[in-house]
Amino acid sequence: MSSEMRGGITGRRRFELGDAAAESRPVDDGPVNGDARSIVDLIKELRDESTTLMRQEIALAKAELSEKASKAAVNGAILGLGAVVTGIAAIFLAAAATVGIYLGLVYGLELSHANAGWLAPLITALVLGAIGAAHILKGKKGLEEAMTAPDRTIDSLKRDRDMIAEKVQS
């Protein structure tokens, strides 16, 4: 056998004979033409950097989702508290408003006690219902804003994808 078949050319890919003469495997002798790193080293570096990058992206996604979940919990608690307080206040306010409207209808507009008796609670309920609905809509909007996708992570992943594609092409 010649020295070339045994791997006598340094700095170039050579083949080493395995156990069977028909089976051979490539062996990398290192850099060619003065390159500091071999292709194998570059692939290993790409693998390691990709793994590190993905771990960092996952950590970012976890942090961002945790932040959004905290905001959602706060907005949910605010929504619940607003509903409870509005309900309690509505009971007392409804009683006082109903009496005031009743008296205004009876003495101001001179309606009969029978007509004022059903009209006063109806007016009170409509006004309080509108106030309660406004609070519910505000809380719902806050929850919707907090429950969006992790935007920073998605943007970062897109940048990483583009960077990797650029490095692979060059």
63 and 88 part of one domain? yes
Q: Cβ contacts of residue 17 below 8 Å, gap of 6+?
A: 6, 24
Could you give the CA distance from residue 95 to residue 89 in angstroms, rounded to a whole number? 10
Q: What range defines the domain where residue 133 resides?
A: 41-169
Q: Is the domain of 12 the same as that of 73?
A: no
Residue 69: CB atoms within 10 Å: 12
- In this structure, are 28 and 110 located in the same domain? no
Is the separation of the CB atoms in 29 and 14 below 8 Å?
A: yes
Question: How many C-beta neighbours within 10 Å does residue 51 have?
Answer: 10
DSSP structure class, residue 19: S
Write the DSSP symbol of residue 6.
Answer: T
CA distance 115 to 125: 16
Looking at residue 10, what DSSP letter applies? T
Measure the CA–CA gap between 97 and 107, rounded to whole angstroms.
15
Q: Express each pLDDT in 29-86 by its tens digit.
A: 555 555 567 888 888 888 889 899 889 989 988 898 898 889 989 999 999 999 899 8
pLDDT (tens digit per residue) in 112-169: 988 888 989 898 889 888 988 999 999 888 888 777 777 788 888 888 888 888 888 8
Tell whether 113 and 73 lie within a shared domain.
Answer: yes
For residue 137, the surrounding DSSP H or E stretch is helix 113-146
Whole-prediction pTM: 0.38
Task: Tell whether 50 and 97 lie within a shared domain.
Answer: yes
pLDDT for 24 beyond 60: no
Backbone torsions φ then ψ of 136, nearest 5 degrees: -65, -45
Report how far residue 18's alpha carbon sits from residue 15's, in angstroms, rounded to the nearest whole number.
9
Total domains in the chain come to 2
Is the per-residue pLDDT at 107 higher than 90? yes
Q: Which residue has the higher pLDDT, 148 or 97?
A: 97
Strands, DSSP E only, in 8-163?
14-17, 24-27
Residues 132 and 146 in one domain: yes
Chain centroid offset of residue 137 CA: 22
Task: Tell me which residue has tokens 């008296």.
Answer: 103
